Amino acid sequence: MTKIDPLVEQMSRLRAEQQKENLKSIAELVPQLRPDQREHLHKILGERYGGGGFGRPGGPGAGQGRPPQ
């Protein structure tokens, strides 16, 4: 367990960093989308992360839990 604990912690940190980078990329993309594309993206993100979609209450970053694998 003494070897496993640090590895689990590292995996958690790396997953969090990856999710932040993914959401940062999406945030940069959103202004370039047409309104219908933006709404579709919000729907997809809402389904994936739970809640209302990116940039909406309950969306990613709102503590809704881990996305499905």
Q: Average pLDDT of the chain?
A: 81
Q: What is the pLDDT of residue 55?
A: 53
Evaluate the CA torsion angle 47, 48, 50, 53 in order and state its sign. Answer: negative
Q: Are 54 and 26 in contact (CB under 8 A)?
A: yes
Residue at token pair 């881990």: 66
Q: What is the pLDDT of residue 54?
A: 53
Does the reported pTM lie above 0.75?
no
Sketch the domain layout of the chain as residue ranges.
4-49
Query: Taking 90 as the threshold, does the pLDDT of residue 7 lie above it?
Result: yes
What confidence tens digit (pLDDT) does each residue in 35-62 have? 999 999 999 988 887 764 455 454 444 4
Q: Whole-angstrom distance between the N-terminal and C-terminal Cα of the chain?
A: 25
Distance of CA 11 to the CA centre of its chain: 16
